[in-house]
Chain A
Amino acid sequence: MTELMRQLTARKVERRRQLAALPVGEKLRMLEEMVAATKAISATRPPKPVNPVQFSRQEIQIHSK
């Protein structure tokens, strides 16, 4: 492991310790936020796939004008 990687790992562990030291109520509130954010992502529908043939015809029409 390089010195940089060691420093990054140490920083990550230290950050985890800081978060672990927070009051339980605060940590559970953070969990609720994380879960709500995850639900919001899964509730966002991806756009419908484009029909490539139809799409290229539209492109041709636009460029031919």
Chain B
Amino acid sequence: MDKIFAVLNQMESDGVIGRYAIGGAVGSIFWLEPITTKDLDVFVMLPTAPGGSLLTLGPIYEYLLARGYSPQGQFIIIEGWAVEFVPPGTPLVEEALAQAVARDVNGVSTRVFTAEHLAAICLQVGRPKDHDRVIRFVEAGALDAEFFETILRRHDLWQKWQKFQQTYLEP
């Protein structure tokens, strides 16, 4: 997977994408135990065309297709992995991208969402598998309670967190 990170770094250097960070299940693996997934979510700031305000994934596809990678649905297959490029859709994800931290994988640097942002996003999305992941973050002791609380309050998730605790974390 470090080969994919190298491709992403090159894309960022070439200006095809702006700041990027790994999120989703693979992002969680940076903080938790390995969990299975079939795709890699890459959150990206998309550079806008001069004079335009329309965001498009077109340049990403053109760049990667020219290098022999193939599209498959909403994914692009890079080094055998289905990679999805996702522009931030909520203020929480925007913040997660802005505050993502650098990590080294086998000598290749990459950026990943903080554990607190990943857990907050899971709480916000709220599917059963997201709830399961929040529990794993808590059980692993991966969250800085103060930082997590700040994020939850800023993004209006505090009540949801209280309810979540009552449902899943309190005996």
> How many interface residues does A have (CB within 8 Å)?
16
8 Å CB contact of B139 from A16, A25, A38: A16
Closest to B136 in A: A16
Question: Which chain A residues border B129 with CB–CB below 8 Å?
Answer: none
**A28 CA to B142 CA, complexed, in Å:** 18
The reply to whether A31 and B36 contact each other, CB–CB distance below 8 Å, is yes
Shortest distance from the beta carbon of A10 to any chain B beta carbon, whole Å: 10
8 Å CB contact of B34 from A13, A17, A27, A38: A27
**A31 CA to B32 CA, complexed, in Å:** 12
A16 and B33 contact, Cβ closer than 8 Å, known pairs A24-B103, A35-B38: yes
8 Å CB contact of A27 from B29, B104, B136: B29
Closest to A26 in B: B34
Question: Which chain A residues border B37 with CB–CB below 8 Å?
Answer: 31, 35
**A27 CA to B28 CA, complexed, in Å:** 11
The reply to whether A31 and B139 contact each other, CB–CB distance below 8 Å, is no
Interface SS of chain A: helix, strand, loop or mixed?
Answer: helix
A-B contact pairs, 12 of them (CB 8 A): A16-B136, A16-B140, A19-B34, A20-B32, A20-B33, A20-B142, A24-B29, A24-B103, A28-B29, A28-B105, A31-B26, A31-B35
Interface members, chain B 1-50 (any A CB < 8 Å): 1-2, 26, 29-38
Interface: A8 (CB within 8 A): no
Interface residues of A (CB under 8 A from B): 13, 15-17, 19-20, 24-25, 27-28, 30-32, 34-35, 38
**A30 CA to B37 CA, complexed, in Å:** 12
**A31 CA to B35 CA, complexed, in Å:** 7
Interface: B106 (CB within 8 A): yes
Question: Which chain A residues border B103 with CB–CB below 8 Å?
Answer: 24
Shortest distance from the beta carbon of A20 to any chain B beta carbon, whole Å: 5
Shortest distance from the beta carbon of B103 to any chain A beta carbon, whole Å: 6
